[in-house]
Each structure stands twice: as C-alpha cells, then as structure tokens.
Structure 1
Amino acid sequence: MVLSDDALRTTIDAWERFAAGAESVRGVRPEILMSWYRCREEYAVDPELDRAPPAAEVGAHSMDHDVVYTELGGQAASAVRELGGVEGVVTVTDGDGRILGTWGSSNYVLTLAAESNLAPWSTWSEWASGTNGMGTALESHRPVLVRGPEHWCRGFQGWVCAGVAVRDAVTHDPLAVLNISSWQASLSDAVLPWLGKVAATTEAKLRQRAHLSGTQLGAALTDFRAAPATAVAAVDLAGNVVLANSEAAVLLGTPADQPAYSPTHRWTPQLSTLPRLVRRAVERARKDPSWTGSTLVFVPFLGVTIPVSVHPVFTGTQLIGVLLAFGASDDTTAIDAPEAEPAASGWPSSVPTRVVAQRDDRWVLLDPREIRFAEADHNTVWLTTDQGRLVATTRGLDRLEQQLEDKGFLRVHRRFLVNLGRVREVEQGFKGALFLATDARTRETIPVARRHATQLKQALGL
C-alpha cells in the first residue's frame, strides 16, 4: 500500500505539472486523477492549502445518521487499538465531510493532526480540502486510498489516508465516512478490505430498516382513505414506488398491487418529475410533520397535467415516505396544458414558469429573467436576483439546472449556473481562465470551469 521511490517521484512530478495547469499527466491512478480534476476545475481548491477550513452548520439530520455515527465511532476506537506501531488517527465525518470525532494512537499524532485541522469542527469534503481520504470517499462508492502526493493540497501530503462512505439504503446519499490516516508511514494492506467490511455491515443494517419501512409504507397505503377508483401510490424518500394500486400503476408505469418492500427491488416510476416532487415534499414534511400539500404533474403519454395530493408517512417521528393520490384535489384544479402557475399550496408545477425562493418566512415567486446567477453551497442554492440574494426552495444545483432548462441558463462551474441573458462581459484570466461579469450595478464575477469554456463560447457566439 506504500508508494515505491519511483512511484513517489512520478506522482510528485505529475502533481506539480497538473497543479501548474497541465491538461493531462501520466502515472497517476484514475480515481486520483479524476479527483484532481474536480479539485482544480470544479471546486477551485488552493493546492497550497495547509489547514482544512472550518465546518459550517447544516440542517437537522435523521435518526439513521445518529445510529451510523455511533456505529462508526465504535469501529474507530477499535481501529486505533489495532494500528500497532503506526502513528495514525481514525476519524468519523458526517455526509458533508465534517469531522465529528478523532481517535489517535498517541497524543503526538493527535497534535500533529490538529495542525492540519484533522480534527472535529473542520470540513474535509473534496470541494473544501481537495483530494483526501474522507472527501474522496464521499465521491466514491467503494473504499479509497490517497497516498502522500496524491493529496491535492501540498500541506496534507505527509499523510496516507484510507476512507469509506456509508450510504443511505434508499437515497444512496452518503451518511458518514470512516477514515484512517497515518503520518509518513504506509497503511496495512488489510485496511481497505476492513473498511469495506465495516461499510457493508453497517449498510446491511440500514437495508433491514429500509425493508421494515417499506412494509410500513405498504400498510399506510392499505389504510389510506380515498374515494373509489382514486389512483394511490406509496413512494419512498428517493421517489421509488413501494406499492401502487392499479389506477396509479397506469400513471407511473409500474406493476399494480405488487409490493416492493426491499429498497433494492423498488420500482422506478416513468414520471421524470416524481423524484423532484418527493424531495420537495420530504423537505417540507421534515420541517412541519403536520404538513400535506398538492401540485400538478404532467403525464407525458397522456399529454395532460393532473393534480396530485401529497401525504407524508411517519413512523414515530421518522419520515419514511409519502402517499400520492392522483386526481381531483381541493387545493388545485387539473388543467390540460403541461405548464401551469404554482398550485395554491405553494408548490411549483412539473414544468415551472417561475422559480420559488424564500425570504425569511415568505415565498418569493421569481421570473427566471430576474435571476442573474445561482450559486451552490452544498445542497443549498443561493439566487442572486433583482430582488436581492435569496435561498431557492429547490435543493441542489443539478435540480435547479433541470428546472431552468430552456430558460437561457448555462452551467459554467460545478457551483454556478448563470443566466446568459444577464452576462455583460467575459474576462480572460491567468492561463486562459474565464470570468463572467453580470449587468448588475455592483460588480459581480462568476468563474468558468475549463470544461465548460467551449460550451459557453458557443452559447455566446464567441
């Protein structure tokens, strides 16, 4: 698991050339080179960084997160005892790469780790701290190893790190990372298999719980009171169908009355807007457990827009999914056009004409032309608009990009989506870097990642 002298020199040389702007280098493992590209092109991480940045506060998490953190904490303490003579630390992070706990083989190595902020209250996501065992594990579905100069930031290249992410059984989002780091020493060849085993064992427990949640969702659908012939479906937190009656199955393109309790066997609906609808419902229900809502959904093969009411399903205080009832609703009226104004409950339609943002406790309905650009901060999206800087109700820049397709917006960076109609200038920076200036009275600049430069020039006719 250690780099040979030749491999070490090759990796150092490759890192120096790539950090200086080389488009391609040889002698670096594909997963490391992909991470370097993300760090340089998408995240713009300073390769001279020597301390991880402080962690930001994020929203409330589920009980599943707490269980996983506790489980991995026990494994971390066990791993420290098994490090033998190696000076190393074991860390547990949350799904955003924020370190929650650190265990060390000695006070010396804990002090050494603290100098790099390899300690609680710091963040080691790739976008913040570059290629590293914790952040790169969040981007991967298997254990990862980052050795010495494979780290993107020079200040961390004295460490060898191995990490693995534990993922939600339903959404597949990362919940936590278990990581082992050694200082200027190799890790045992047994570390990666051990990490994989820990993740597999923990995820197996999550799948068992998800199976139970599936049976509870099916029972909730059976007990649901609806008018005869109402299309009703039970859907998990990722928007996959657990159970649908015959009327709903026709709309969703899934088997009728066939339960799929196991998360690995659930049906993928044919309505492309359904996962986004469910994510929005989950966000609202977690903030207000008594909430129910309604919206309009476009059914492509019927060519019509139909109303759907949304009913969150809880077991105790844990949200496990939603029930969807398609058909007439007291909150909205079915229409024949695929585009509609937001429904009375505050939801956008499946193909929105306006973007919903939030200011304090008020909803703000924006014409897309009012938005100059959008910036991602983890899953939170900030909109820079003619009405000020607002938080989008849409979670994740990818989802907002889908929502605004055909509205004149272009993704120019992993963190930025820009309204091309509001671009006033294109500036050239160092080594061909591009920056966009908007038509705002105060100066606003947006970085353009190299991978998006060609598409941007074509879109602007340059």
Structure 2
Amino acid sequence: MKDARRREPLGSVYAAWERFVQGEDQVLGVRPEVAISWHRCRERYRVDPNLTEAPIAVAEIEHTPEHDGVFAELGFRAAAVAQDVGFAGGVLTVTDSTGRILAEWGDQGTLARAAEANLAPWFCWSESAAGTNGMGMALETHGPVLVKGPEHWCKAFHDWTCAGVAVRDVVTREPIAVLNISCWRSRLPSFAGNWLSNAAVTTQAQLRRRARNSGAELVAAYTQARAGASTPLAAMDTAGKVVIADETASVLMGVPAATPALDPTVRWNPGLPELIGAAQYAATQAARNPDWVGSTQIFTNLSDEPTPIVIRPVFLSGHLIGNLVHFNATEPGPGMPSADRPAAIRPRRVVATRENRMVLLRLPEVAFAESDGNDVWLSTDQGRLRAASASLDRLGGELADVGFLRVHRSYVVNLSRVREVERGRGGELLLIMENGGDVPVSRRNAPAVRRALDI
C-alpha cells in the first residue's frame, strides 16, 4: 500500500504528460518549472517525446581558461563523491554550456545502462536536444533542479531521476557548466541536493572574486584612458553593466558618477537597450578579434537625437573583461549594423503560472510586467499572474522587439496598452494602462517613452 501511494503522484504526472504531448495545455499535478520546460520542448524546441537517446554534440565552442578552471573544479568535486554516488547506483556528469557531457563517474552497471541512452561524454543533453532533464533544465533555470520519472519530456528517460545545478558567469549570468546526478529506477543519494548547491555556490564564489579583480582592472583602464580623453567616458562589463562613468557619461546613462562598482552584483544597468546591445555585440566581436574597435549611434537620456559612440575592448591576461565607451566620439571604427547582430527569437506568447498550472498568454493580453523582490508579476486580462521568467531584465529583453518597453527599473509595459500619459508637476510621466493600472516612468527612461509614443 505504501508503494502504491508513492507511485500515485508520478502516475498523475504521467497522465498529464500523455495529454500534453497530444497537444493539451492543462498540466494539473505537474510542478510549474517542469510544465514550463515541457512547453519549451514542445513549442520552441519541438523535441520528439519518443526520442530514445540523446544526439551527439555537434556544437564546438571555445572554452576560455576561466571556463576550463570551472570544469576542473567540478570534476574534482565529482571525483571526490563518485564512490558514494556509485554505491547508490548513480552517475555523475559535468557538461559545458551547450549541454555536452565532458566527463562522467559512477556505478559501472548504471554507466552501462546510461550508455544505452547516450548519457555519456560527447553527447548533448540540453533541453533543445534531449527535452526536459536535469542537465537541460539547469541550463535554463537559476538554482538547483530536480526531474523525476515522467517529468522527463522523452518517454525513454522516464526510469531516471536527475538533479542538476548550473554554474553561471557572475557577470553575464550565462551558464558555464552543469553538475548533475542521475539514478536509474532508484532514489538520489540523500546528500545530493545539498552537495550540488554547495558545489555551485563555492565555485561561483571563486568566479565572483575574479570578477571583482576584473572590475578593478576595468577601472584602471578607464582611469588611464580618462587622463587623455576629451569626450565623456564609461567602462562597461561584457554584460553591458556600468562599472564606472565620468560625470557627463553618468548623466547620459542615468547612473552614479565616478563611483566604481567592482562587484558584479552591484553594477548599474544603464537602462538604454541600444547601448547594452552594442556593448554585448562588441564583446562578441572582440572575443574573436582582440584588435576590434567599433562605432555606432545610440539614443541617450539627454537628447532626442542619436549620440555617436566608440567602443574599445579591454583585456586582462588575454581574457576580455569589458569595454571602454567613448561618447560623442568621431574616431573611425567598423560600424555595428543591427543586421550583423544575432537574430533574437521573437516570442509568440508569454508564459505565466497560476498555482500548479502553466498559463500561455498571447502578447496583447499582457499590459505590463512588474518586478517585486525576486518575483516578476504580469498584469494581464486574466488578472495578476506570476511570470515564468525569474528576471525582469531577461523578460524585457525578450519582449523588446515585439512592442514592449522598459520604462522603469521595476516595469516593462506593452506600448499598445497605454491609454493615457499623465504629466506631473515636476515633468515626471505616469502611464495609464487600458486595464486601469498606473505605471511610473523613471526620468532616465522618459525620452525613450516619448519617442516610442511619439509625444
């Protein structure tokens, strides 16, 4: 009787899985994070739920020395507990940011079983390749993940239980590697959850120390360039966050002046999507060609006319750590046309959660998004719903090309749902939305709002 009760929840998950793969959207009894992963697998990645083995990894990416250090650190930690995991009938894996398994440890019998599904080095376990699984979900999610039995998207993997956690770049927040434990028809070791979390936290603490050192080097490069500069200057990291800016550049970007932000967790978001995009594009180009210097034009907070900028990369021991941005500069450099930038996938829907259901919202149904602590909430025609995205920055970036605009540190609005614009005595703007909500506009975002609404 006890075994039957233990299997019952997974039985309801399997029933929901069957309905979902047939096209239904109701996923009662399924954890929201799993339901959202299923949605990505079905709608975005179109992974065959009848896939029986992971595909071979075809993407070759160049790993930086810093990334190699992360792989070595995770490998050392995995080897230290490999025997304990093996006794529990488990397999330990380390993957890179594409989901490609780099190494594995564990029980020989389970390793042989795993090989039948290509749970082995040089095969790819990203969600786009193998559906919902511990490694793939960890790449898509911040924090540890657990995938049990029929929560896996592919039926052939329903006998597995997986737990994984990604180690992320502390500046860009992009994944570097994943540490994962998988068990076949058995429970995970009791220490698995805490061990995975501690391994990720400890490794990222080391990355944070290095990032602070990189921030100090960026400030040093800025100070040296500032001595001979005749135009406004700022230093930005590879994610487009501001590390330091002079008095004029700080006004252009709406950030504090001449205040170094060495720690990546306290750097400033300039709130200028074109500038952030240009800095990220520049980082990509400079990583390929260290001699690259680029120029473009962006809109700032002081003018309705575009401002020319020149971007110069900064390196530390051959590793790109950020860029120096010269405003109102006329120095020639290769342009950065938007057509050369990687095309972003335009979302067709916004995913929200209600209790244990996944709600698929059409874009016109969403009036605005609001950050509240660690959560993002959507004001929609169906009421106030929690967004599946854990970051307003990420959600705003995904929706930037489909009629949404970041108007405040805490708000992203659907411009087509703005009904009125109210001006305060001090010139501040307040957006009155169709659904009756009021959204404040920050001073630094006001010019962009006026341009977008043509007022």
TM above 0.5: yes
Check 1:25–1:330 CA distance in 2 against 1; reply closer, same or farther (3 A cut). closer
Output one character per residue of 1:220-265: Cα deviation in whole Å (capped at 9) or x when no partner: 1111156555211111010101111112111111111110000011
Query: Counterpart in 2 of 1:13?
Result: 15
Letter of the aligned partner of 1:197 in structure 2? N
Q: In structure 1, give the amino acid aligned to 2:336.
A: W
The corresponding residue for 2:211 is: 210
The number of aligned residues is 353
Distance 1:400 1:292, change over 3 A: farther
Aligned match of 1:356 in 331, 337, 340?
340
Q: 1:272-287 maps to which residues of 2 (within 5 A)? A: 272-287=273-288
Deviation of residue 25 (structure 1)?
Answer: 2.5
Q: State how far apart, in whole Å, the 2-side matches of 1:300 and 1:403 are.
A: 20
Deviating more after overlay: 318-327 vs 217-226: 217-226
Instruction: Spell out the pairing of 1:360-399 with structure 2 (5 A cutoff).
Output: none
Identity %: 47
Aligned counterpart, 2:49: 47
CA-to-partner distance for each residue in 1:41-71, whole Å, 9 max, x for gaps?
Answer: 2211111111001111233232221111111
Q: In 1, are the aligned partners of 2:251 and 2:301 still within 8 Å (CA)?
A: no
Deviations 1:345-391 (A, max 9, x none): 1312xxx5xx2379xxxxxxxxxxxxxx9889xxxxxxxxxxxxxxx
Alpha carbons 1:307, 1:328 under 8 Å: kept: yes
Distance 1:374 1:256 in 2: 32
Go from structure 1 to structure 2 and tell me whether the alpha carbon gap of 1:401 and 1:59 turns closer, same or farther (over 3 Å shift): farther
Residue pair 1:244, 1:258 contacting (<8 A) in 2 also: yes
Give the 3-state SS of the residue equivalent to 2:52 in structure 1.
coil
2:38 to 20, 30, 36: 36
1:173 aligns with 2:178: no
RMSD value over aligned CA atoms? Answer: 2.4
Counterpart position of 2:437? none
Equivalent residue number for residue 75 of structure 1:
77
| CA distance in 2: counterparts of 1:112 and 1:68, whole angstroms | 28
Residues 242, 268 of structure 2: 8 Å contact kept:
yes
Judged with a 3 Å threshold, the aligned counterparts in structure 2 of structure 1 residues 374 and 273 are, in CA distance, closer, same or farther, namely closer
Distance 2:159 2:115 in 1: 14
Q: Counterpart of 2:50 in structure 1: which amino acid?
A: E
* 1:347 corresponds to: 336
Q: 1:308 to 1:404 in 2, by over 3 A?
A: farther
| Residues in 2 aligned to 1:30 and 1:330: alpha-carbon distance in whole angstroms | 51
1:93 aligns with 2:71: no
Q: Return 5+ residue gaps in structure 2 as ranges.
A: 347-393, 405-455
Contact 2:293 2:312 in 1 (8 A): yes
Contact 1:52 1:123 in 2 (8 A): yes
Secondary structure at 2:262's aligned position in 1? coil
Aligned residue number for residue 297 of structure 1: 298
Instruction: Please report the TM-score for the alignment, with normalisation by the length of structure 1.
Output: 0.72
What SS is found at the alignment partner of 2:85?
coil
In structure 2, relative to structure 1, the CA distance for the partners of 1:128 and 1:199 (3 Å cut) is same
Distance 2:398 2:26 in 1: 31
CA distance in 2, matches of 1:405, 1:375: 14
Q: CA contact under 8 A between 1:229 and 1:247: conserved in structure 2?
A: no
CA deviations on 1:375-415 (whole Å, 9 max, x unpaired) are: 89xxxxxxxxxxxxxxxxxxx9x979856979xxxxxxxxx
The CA distance in 1 between the partners of 2:36 and 2:315, in whole Å, is 40
Distance in structure 2 (CA, Å) of the matches to 1:357 and 1:284:
10
Partner of 1:326 in structure 2? 327
Post-superposition offset of 1:329: 1.2
Q: Between Structure 1 and Structure 2, which shows a larger proportion of helix residues?
A: 2
**Structure 1's 14 and 405: CA in aligned 2 closer, same or farther, altered over 3 A?**
closer
Q: Which whole-Å CA distance do the structure 2 matches of 1:90 and 1:177 have between them?
A: 11
Question: Are the structure 2 counterparts of residues 104 and 25 from structure 1 closer, same or farther at C-alpha, using a change threshold of 3 Å?
Answer: same
1: CA distance, partners of 2:244 / 2:301? 21
- 1:190 is displaced (CA, Å) by 2.5
Residue 232 of structure 1 aligns with which residue? 233
